[in-house]
Amino acid sequence: LELEKALLSAEYESESLKLTTDEAEKISVQMKINELEREMADDTASQANLQAEARRRVERAQELCSRLEDELDNSLDDNKQREIAEKLNAHQETLETERKTFEDLEFHHLEEEASKLATREELQ
């Protein structure tokens, strides 16, 4: 009877230790998930600001190109037309660069978010 009692006590202690270890690991994983979700929320807010600024730059470049196109259409002086056309070409290049930057920013954010979501799923 004493031997059986000792065996059961040892088994209980072993299982109790395993349970404590499992609970500590569960808490650690939950803390990692919480940290990851906080990072995702911070990143989303930061990316929203960056994307809004990039969108404004694209809109400003579009407006400037539209104004230059109107000026070019309304200009009768050949020298002035050449000057405006050169400005327009330069600003169209700027517009394309701003668009590309905006699209790259969006794509990078989506990739980063997908990676963090995958990590969160792995942890759960």
Domain residue spans of the chain: 38-123
Per cent of the chain over pLDDT 90 is 89
Residue where the block lists tokens 């980063």: 112
Which own/partner pairs from 16-20 qualify as long-range (CB within 8 Å, at least 24 positions apart)?
Answer: none
Q: Which of 104, 122, 120 is nearest to 40 (CA)?
A: 120
The per-residue pLDDT for 6 is: 93
pTM to 2 decimals?
0.69
DSSP one-letter string for 84-108: HHHHHHHHHHHHHHHHHHHHHHHHH
Task: Indicate if the pLDDT at residue 123 is higher than 90.
Answer: no
Q: Which two tokens stand for residue 22?
A: 């499992």
